[in-house]
Structure 1
Amino acid sequence: VLRALVDAGHEPRALVRSSDKLDQMRAAQGIDGAIDHVVGDMTDPDSVAEALRGCDACIHTAAFTSLDPEQMHLALEVNAPGAINVLDTAAAVGCDPIVHLSTMSVIFPPTGDVLSGHDPVQGGGNPYNASKAIAEEHARGMQDAGAPVNIIYPAGVTGPTDLGLNVLAANLIPTLQSEIMMSLASGGWLLVDVRDLAKALVGLLQPGRGPQRYVAGGTYMDWDEFHAVVSEVTGCDRALFPTPREALEQMVDAEAVEIMLGIVPGDDAGLLADSGLGSWRPVEETLHDTVAWLIVGGLLEADRAPNCV
């Protein structure tokens, strides 16, 4: 997002927990020059107030995520209080718009055949989803009161040059390391390129549009389509293995089962139009760049994707 802000001519100020990590991010993203920043924590009111002082708009993307079950409880301690603190402070200082990055999980399962920002909030679930649902309820309450909060619901965000291993990339690695790929009776993959998402968020920085909700689903592929794309991108034709629900339930948790079997395309038209992005890049490009980045980083063997070397 910082790269997209700089490229669009904005003067960003970042709230970061570590100046060193900010420098690493600047280097990875090829950002020349220093970035104005405040070292602090989104749960700390003073840090957030200092970071937002004098700002015209706010983009809130921070959240605690972890694949470690023993750490997931931290999401409840960080995500909801932090989001509420940022959103309330941004409104108090007059930011317009206030762009809040939510998650697809808070509107899943959908009420129709596409994911819509008008779908009701689905609470509960694991600590991460529960924390995001609490923040979502608060953000919608602000919208009801007229605050210019723009809520974004991204699906599977992926792409290269992450400083860590994001959740989707971590799930992609074992898929590429295997000789087989699952084919399920329903559902599929819904992938959005992090670079496109960043540009879309920045494109929404237009005052006076009022409260808005946008889905950022990206490209939808059923399981057979995903297999075909992965085969083309990587140069490895893995066997497609029909997998019944009962077998899937032995491999992943109950929430993951429902998402994998129940995912549908997203209604992205509003975001693509209002942000000026127009369209998502081809999913083949997203996967190629992500896999190439995993190989360069030593996280995936080159022979698992010879076309990406």
Structure 2
Amino acid sequence: MRVVVTGASGFVGSHAVAALRAAGHEPILLVRSPEKARKVLVALGVADEFEICVADIRDAAAVRAGLARGEAVLHAAAEIGVTGPGGDLAGTNVGGLRNVLGQAAELGLDPIVHVSTTAVFVPPGGPVITTESALASPRNAYGKTKIVGERYARELQEQGHPVTIVYPGGVSGPCQPTVDAFNEGLVASMKQGWPMVPGGCALVDVRDVALVLTACMSPGQGPRRYMLGGHFLTWAQVADLCDEVTGLTGRRYKVPAGALMAAGALLDLIRKVWRIDYPLTRDAVEIMVTMVPTQDSSTLEGLGIRLRPGQETIADALRWLRDQGHIDAAKVGRLT
């Protein structure tokens, strides 16, 4: 199947391109920079030549021209703004999403697969997040744009269009073109220690996300939603996993959730004047202290996917972060 892929030079998108090609599909890359996309894919071990459509997803006409060359679409392009200031959040996460999903529906592509996030349900309203959970009411710009995009994707589903929405949790693993989100927090915590606060994280390997997205590439299935939070781990368990794979004992420090929230808010203010690399924001803290497990069983059973162990994800992420110079070799212990 000819699958148009947006965000092919990003973390999830590049791994998805590799998985799609391995499954026999023909990815068509809709990207702003062909050079960047090729560089990212080569670093991932994918040296194939792909059909490329140069387009910014905020450009409706360029997006339509690219979509017309495919049979299905995987929309993985998004701006991330949890651990620091994002780019054009509304332009990409709302306008760009409408350009891709809406025009794909008009052109009759099937399926139309959209990579959402578990963040649209956080803070959660119950002890477990499912695809039927109520959408959250976030206070931050990133969360607000993701909710608006989510509602539009669901509108298309209600109209009967074959839109599939996948909700990954904290995505980690190797070969991340720009270190952010979970991997960015992993780097900071390995260097400076783990805050022991309530809540936890839903950890999912980027390669497993790619496999799920590839498994969704089956036409004629109609609207679908798949939860893919991954392994739920408390922050103590995340720290323990890092200790297990490195053979070292990382620093841990207890801090009240309110104090950490205040620290994140203070850093947000300081960032308006000075650049700070530490990925602690008020929004990130809210996700950290309120996250709960996700109900992934129907996704994994329905698509025939088995998640790899969290130890493998963390170990591979740390090795790659070391190789790229983001973490000193001494911090990863026996992984060296």
Q: TM-score range by the shorter chain?
A: over 0.9
Q: Which residue of 2 aligns with 1:225?
A: 237
Choose which of 131, 143, 158 in structure 2 pairs with 1:144. Answer: 158
Asked if 1:294 is matched to 2:321, the reply is: yes
Seen in structure 2, the aligned counterparts of structure 1 residues 122 and 150 have a Cα distance that, compared at 3 Å, is same
Equivalent-residue separation in structure 1 for 2:323 and 2:113 (angstroms): 33
Q: Deviation string for 1:221-265 (max 9, x for gaps)?
A: 112222211111122112432221232123324433332121111
The equivalent of 1:255 in structure 2 is 283
Quick one: distance in 2 between partners of 1:34 and 1:147?
A: 31
3-state DSSP class of the match of 2:38?
helix
Q: Note if 1:92 corresponds to 2:106.
A: yes
How far the C-alpha of 1:141 sits from its partner, in A, is 0.7
Question: Hey, what's the Cα distance between the residues in 1 that align with 2:64 and 2:146?
Answer: 22
Judge conservation of contact 2:82–2:283 (CA < 8 Å) in 1.
no
Cα distance in 2 between the residues matched to 1:67 and 1:97: 29
**Aligned equivalents of 2:37 and 2:148: distance in 1?**
28
- Residues in 2 aligned to 1:68 and 1:113: alpha-carbon distance in whole angstroms: 24
Q: Does 1:206 align with 2:218?
A: yes
Partner of 1:188: 200
| Segment of structure 1 superposing worse, 237-246 or 202-211 | 237-246
Structure 2 counterpart of 1:33, which letter?
Answer: D
Secondary structure of 2:263's counterpart equals coil
1:18 aligns with 2:33: yes
CA contact (8 A) 1:98 1:150 kept: yes
Mean alpha-carbon deviation: is it higher for 56-65 or for 5-14? Answer: 56-65
Residue in structure 1 matched with residue 179 of structure 2 by the alignment: 165
2:65 corresponds to which of 50, 53, 58: 50
Aligned pairs for 1:40-79 (under 5 A) are 40-66=55-81, 71-72=85-86, 74-79=88-93
Contact map agreement 2:82 2:284 (CA 8 A) in 1: no
> Percent identity at matched positions?
35
The alignment partner of 1:143 has SS state of helix
Question: How far apart are the structure 1 equivalents of 2:249 and 2:323?
Answer: 22
| Pick aligned residue for 1:283 from 310, 314, 329 | 310
In structure 2, the CA distance between the partners of 1:121 and 1:214, relative to structure 1 (3 Å rule), is same
* Alpha-carbon contact 1:90-1:98 (below 8 Å) kept: yes
For the residue of structure 2 that corresponds to 1:250, the secondary structure is helix
Q: Which amino acid aligns with 1:181?
A: W
1:182 deviates by 2.0
| Deviation (angstroms), 1:33 | 2.3
Q: For residue 256 of structure 2, what is the aligned residue in structure 1?
A: 244
CA root-mean-square deviation = 1.7
Equivalent pair of 1:203/1:274 in contact (CA under 8 Å): no
Partner amino acid, structure 1, of 2:319: A
In the TM superposition, residue 123 of structure 1 has moved relative to its aligned partner by: 3.7
Q: How many angstroms apart in 1 are the aligned matches of 2:250 and 2:47? A: 41
Q: 2:296: which partner in 1?
A: 268
| Residues 182/113 of structure 1: CA separation in 2 closer, same or farther (3 Å cut) | same
> What is the one-letter code of the residue matched to 1:23?
R
After superposition, where does 1:101-112 map in structure 2 within 5 Å?
Answer: 101-112=115-126
3-state SS of 2:264 partner = coil
* Residue identity matched to 1:14: L
Aligned length: 305
Contact 1:118 1:213 survives alignment (8 Å): no
Q: How many angstroms does 1:290 deviate by? A: 0.5
- Could you tell me which runs of 5 or more consecutive residues in structure 1 were left unpaired when the two chains were aligned: none
* CA offset digits 1:22-69 (Å, max 9, x no partner): 110221121232011101111111221121114221110001225785
Aligned amino acid, residue 7 of structure 1:
A
Q: Is the 8 A contact 1:110 1:116 kept in 2?
A: no
Match of 1:34 in 2: 49
- State the SS of the aligned residue for 1:285: helix
In structure 1, the residue matched to 2:8 is none
SS state of the match for residue 201, structure 1?
helix
Distance 2:222 2:172 in 1: 29
1:2 aligned to 8, 11, 17, which one? 17
Q: Report if aligned partners of 2:261, 2:286 keep a CA contact under 8 Å in 1.
A: no
Question: 1:174 Cα shift?
Answer: 1.2
| 2:304 partner SS | coil
Paired letter, 1:35: F
Q: Is 2:172–2:317's contact at 8 Å kept on the other side of the alignment?
A: yes
Q: Structure 1 length normalisation: TM-score?
A: 0.93
